[in-house]
Amino acid sequence: MSDKKEFFPFDDEDQCKDLAELLFPYVTESPEECIARFPERNLPEGAKVTRFAPSPTGFLHFGGLFPATVGERLAHQSEGVFILRIEDTDSKREVEGAAENLINTLNYYGIHFDEGATATGETGKYGPYRQSQRGPIYHVFAKKLVKEGKAYPCFTTEEELTALNAVDKKEEIKSKDWHTDPNAVKEQQLDRRRFTLDDVKKSLKNGERFVIRIRSDGDASVKKPFTDLIKGNLEIPENDEDFVLLKSDGIPTYHFAHAVDDRLMGTTHVIRGEEWLPSLSKHIQLFRYLGFKLPKYMHIAQIMKLENGAKKKLSKRDMGANMNDYKKMGYTPECVMEYVMTLLNSNYEEWHAQNTEKKYTDFPFSIKKMSTSGCLFDFAKLDDVSKNVLSKYSAQKIYELVTEWAREFDPGFAELLTKDKNYAVSIFAIGRGGKKPRKDFGALGQVKAYMGFFYDELFEITEELDVKYDRSDIKRILTDFSEIYDENDDQNTWFDKIKMLGERMGYSSDMKAYKATPENFKGNVADVSSFIRLAVTGRLNSPDMYEVMKILGKEKVVRRLKAFALQI
Ligand code: GLU
């Protein structure tokens, strides 16, 4: 460690004041005046103020819907306020139209904000809610820190600027990325603090650009206890890095904007991904420097997925991670939110099984029931949850949902469905409405595969009968059945006919007898039914055949039986 010392007199009030004036001559508002513009909120006791703060770099992802839902639930469950703040300080990474897309998508999933950015502007008294429009506010507090000797300018050399461009200016000169040797970092840090007012004046005159760095007083070997509402009791080392507050274009880093915005917006609970945990020491320090009360923090664990038996982080590139993909696949907002809740609170599923008529917003959401280590995303589980949700809808509602979805994603299918609405609704009515409804599809995109065979345009034989069945038996049974099928038969008569045709060809209709001596038969009535099923639906699995045939109508049934008898 060197015996170098910083030499700007950070403890000389006048010099610090002069430095602040040199750097921010245009800032005339005092921090107190600024704070007064955002008065304390008048909320009931225990009300939480939360915010969702996406960067508009693309579409909303499953990993974004997660914290958004937590924020929404905690705010609205406590009669608090839920804010949408757009963190658009990184213009290079910004994608045009992304903010509007995010807003619309969140709205589609029923995540409503009380304040914040809207598709056409913004609403609320604590704005602006787009960080790119809050520039002057950040400068008020940057000036305050410089004035108090807690921050200082650092003029960037050409060399540094080039390096910056290489790292996409993300965090502006991340000293720790450049040097892995902590002593070298410390030396470099002290070097930065070695300047005089004259140096600053000269650099400004030369038009050099500068960043504002915090003058850190921390010691990384000192750990302080901290309680995160999700992660529990933690030990956080002090921050010892003079990290950047304002970048050379005057735009704040995430750290600085977070402290200023969450203070002025009155955020009580900061809900964000656990990837921010390593930066927490910076934020604790910054709130202290600014004289702000630290909000409560909730760091949500990364969502995981299973890949070849191992847990991996769900990445943005994963199939279906983008919420627009979910829409395309036909997972309705209600299904997705149901799944999100299942993942978020371990007792949600059980609660909903006991409170089937209630909405997820009636559920007492609890921070304590959240996973500390990362819940597992699983498409099969999403399907299960969704099947449950959709199975409770009426045939009419399913019809409407499917046609609306198909209009956007499968117009040909939409045309078929709307050509004869009653026909489609009667198909959806199969096995619906009872205590144990059928659960055939979890997404609207799966419906066509489930019921396409009802339409000649989509009908095709997609499976095969085992070679063990004598083809001439099959032909015979199908032809005979096509001759005796009567739409007006009740289910017993209908089934007796099938049994009788089978018996005639050596297929037992008595399952007990068959099981006792299978060698005495060619097969049983289930085999016979499968011949008919394949001929009529093209598959070996289908909803109740009796009902299916009634809906299809005699003409189609007979035509398909005969056609299959001919082709087999
Ligand atoms: N813009 C940050 C992100 O997208 C927000 C983190 C936070 O909520 O504070 O990760």
**503: enclosing H helix or E strand:** helix 491-505
Report the pLDDT averaged over residues 525-541.
97
Q: How confident is the model at residue 213, as a pLDDT?
A: 96
Residues 407 and 534 in one domain: no
Average pLDDT for residues 406-412, to the nearest whole number? 98
Instruction: Classify residue 338 by burial, with Cβ atoms within 10 Å: 0-12, 13-18, 19+.
Output: buried
Asked whether residue 4 carries a pLDDT value surpassing 80, the answer given is: no
pLDDT confidence tier of residue 320, bands split at 50, 70 and 90: low
Higher-confidence residue of 183 and 236: namely: 236
Which is it for the CA torsion 163, 166, 172, 178, positive or negative? negative
The answer to whether residues 269 and 317 belong to one domain is no
In a domain, 463, yes or no: no
pTM as predicted: 0.89
Contact 197, 15 (CB under 8 A): yes
- Cα of 164 to ligand 1 centre, how many Å? 22
> Residue 465 domain-assigned?
no
Residues 36-94 pLDDT 10s? 999 999 999 999 999 999 998 888 888 899 999 999 999 999 999 999 999 998 877 77
Whole-angstrom distance, CA of residue 435 vs CA of residue 142: 64
Residue 464 lies in a domain: no
CA–CA distance, 532 with 538 (Å, rounded to integer)? 9
pLDDT tops 50 at residue 403 = yes
Residue 252 C-alpha to ligand 1 middle, in angstroms?
14
User: Do the domain assignments include residue 461?
Assistant: no
Residue 104: C-alpha distances to residues 55, 110, 404, 430 (Å): 15, 10, 18, 35
Mean of pLDDT values over 480-486: 97
Question: Is the model's pLDDT at 136 over the cut of 70?
Answer: yes
CATH number of the domain that residue 341 is part of: 1.10.1160.10
Query: Which protein residue's CA is at the shortest distance from atom 3 of ligand 1?
Result: 54
Whether residues 234 and 199 fall in one domain: yes
419 and 399 Cβ atoms separated by less than 8 Å: no
Is 154 a residue whose pLDDT tops 90?
yes
**Mean pLDDT confidence for 390-417:** 97
H or E segment and range at residue 312 = strand 310-313
* Nearest residue (CA) to ligand 1, atom 7: 272
Rounded distance between C-alpha atoms, residue 424 and residue 410, angstroms: 16
Task: Tell me the C-alpha distance between 277 and 287, whole Å.
Answer: 15
Q: Do 228 and 256 fall into the same domain? A: yes
Q: For residue 434, what pLDDT band results from cuts at 50, 70 and 90?
A: confident
171, 177, 196, 282 from 252: Cα distances, Å: 10, 19, 24, 14
Give CA–CA dist 227/468, Å, rounded: 67
Tell whether 64 and 99 lie within a shared domain.
yes
**Residues 339 and 326 sit within 8 Å (Cβ to Cβ):** no
Work out the number of other CB atoms within 10 angstroms of the CB of residue 463: 12
Q: How confident is the model over 533-554, as a mean pLDDT?
A: 96
Domain stop point among 300, 328, 359: 300
Query: What pLDDT sits at residue 41?
Result: 94
pLDDT for position 308: 82
Per the structure, how many domains does the chain have? 4
The stretch 261-284 carries a mean pLDDT of: 97
Q: What percent of the chain has pLDDT over 70?
A: 94
Give the residue whose CA is nearest to atom 9 of ligand 1.
272
Q: Closest residue (by CA) to atom 4 of ligand 1? A: 54
**Average pLDDT over every residue of 226-254:** 95
Q: Residue 505 Cα, ligand 1 centroid: separation in angstroms?
A: 70
Q: Tell me what pLDDT residue 319 has.
A: 58
Which atom belonging to ligand 1 lies closest to the Cα atom of 276? 6
166 pLDDT higher than 60: no
Strands 296-300 and 49-52, how do they pair?
unpaired
Q: Which helix (H) or strand (E) holds 198?
A: helix 197-205
Report the separation in Å between the CA atom of 563 and the middle of ligand 1, taken as the mean of its atom positions. 61
Q: Are residues 254 and 346 in the same domain?
A: no
- Ligand 1: centre distance to CA 54 (Å): 6
| Per-residue pLDDT at 170 exceeds 60 | no
Is 185 contained in some domain? Answer: yes
Q: Which among 208, 199, 207 has a CA at the least distance from the CA of 160?
A: 208
Task: Give me the pLDDT at residue 200, please.
Answer: 96
Cross-strand partners of 214: 151
**Is the N-terminal amide bond of 333 cis, ω within 30° of 0?**
no
Q: Residue 561: inside a domain, yes or no?
A: yes
Q: What pLDDT sits at residue 105?
A: 93
CA 413 to chain centre: 29
- The protein residue whose alpha carbon is closest to atom 5 in ligand 1 is 53
Q: Are residues 239 and 140 in the same domain?
A: yes
Residue 476 Cα to ligand 1 middle (Å)? 68
- For residue 83, the CA-to-ligand 1 centroid distance in Å is 13
* Cα separation, 513 vs 522, whole angstroms: 13
Return the ligand 1 atom nearest residue 262 CA: 9
Collapsing DSSP states into helix, strand and coil, what is residue 81? strand
Which amino acid residue places its CA nearest to atom 6 of ligand 1?
272
Estimate the crossing angle of helix 491-505 against helix 545-552, to 10 degrees: 110
Q: Could you tell me if residue 207 is left (phi over 0), alpha (psi between -120 and 50 degrees) or otherwise beta?
A: left
Assigned token pair, 202: 């000269």
Report which of residues 308 and 506 the model is more confident about.
506
Q: Which residues contact 10 (CB under 8 A, 6 or more apart)?
A: 16, 149, 152, 193, 215
Residues within a 6 A CB radius of ligand 1: 53-55, 87, 258, 270, 272-273
CA of 362 to the centre of ligand 1 (A): 27
pLDDT of residue 297: 98
pLDDT of residue 361: 96
**Atom of ligand 1 minimally distant from the CA of 54:** 4
Q: Give the ranges where 221-299 is alpha helix by DSSP (H).
A: 254-264, 280-290
Cα-to-centroid distance, 133 and ligand 1 (Å) = 17
Same-domain status, 192 and 80: yes
Of the three residues 243, 278, 300, the one that is the final residue of a domain is 300
pLDDT confidence of residue 160: 67
Answer with the one of 391, 412, 436 that is the final residue of a domain.
391
Give the CATH number for residue 176: 3.40.50.620
Give me the mean pLDDT over the 238-257 stretch.
Answer: 94
> Which are the contacts of 245, defined by CB distance < 8 A and separation ≥ 6?
142, 145, 151, 211, 212, 213, 214, 252, 253, 255, 256, 286
C-alpha triplet 193, 162, 177: angle, nearest 5°: 60
Q: Please tell me the least confidently modeled range out of 110-124, 300-314, 326-340, 410-424.
A: 300-314
Q: Quick one: which atom of ligand 1 is closest to the CA of 64?
A: 4
Q: Are strands 223-228 and 232-237 parallel, antiparallel or unpaired?
A: antiparallel
**Which of 217, 281, 279 is closest to 254 using CA atoms?**
279
CA dist., res. 341 & res. 171, Å (int): 34
Per-residue pLDDT band at 161 (split at 50, 70, 90): low
Instruction: Supply the pLDDT for residue 91.
Output: 77
> What domain range includes position 31?
1-300
Polymer length in residues for the chain: 568
pLDDT band at 331 (very low <50, low <70, confident <90, very high): very high
Q: Who wins on pLDDT, 177 or 278? A: 278
On the question of pLDDT at 177 being above 60, the answer is no
Here the CATH number for the domain that contains residue 525 is 1.10.10.350
Report the alpha-carbon distance of residue 312 to residue 314 in Å, rounded. 6
Instruction: Identify the pLDDT of residue 186.
Output: 81
Name the band, by pLDDT with cuts 50, 70 and 90, for residue 303: confident
Ligand 1 centroid–CA 536 distance in Å is 55
Say which DSSP state 522 is in: S
**Residue whose CA is closest, atom 10 of ligand 1?**
54
Is 459 within a domain? no
**Which tokens sit at 504?**
């005639």
Residue 306 resides in a domain: no
Pocket test for ligand 1, best of 49, 50, 51, 55 (most atoms within 8 A of CB): 55
pLDDT recorded at residue 178: 46
Of 373-387, 392-406, 443-457, give the lowest mean pLDDT range. 373-387
The span from the CA of 96 to the CA of 175, in Å, is: 31
Please tell me whether residues 267 and 338 are part of one structural domain. Answer: no
Q: Give yes or no: residues 430 and 512 share one domain.
A: no
Condensed to tens digits (0 to 9), the pLDDT of residues 494-512 reads 999 999 999 999 999 999 9
Q: Are 387 and 406 in the same domain? A: no
Same domain? For 269 and 223 the reply is yes
Tens-place pLDDT, residues 212-225: 999 999 999 999 99
Model pLDDT, residue 169 = 46
Q: Which pLDDT score is estimated for 176?
A: 42
Q: What does the mean pLDDT of the chain come to?
A: 92
pLDDT band for 171, please (50, 70, 90 cuts): low
Mean pLDDT of 199-205: 95
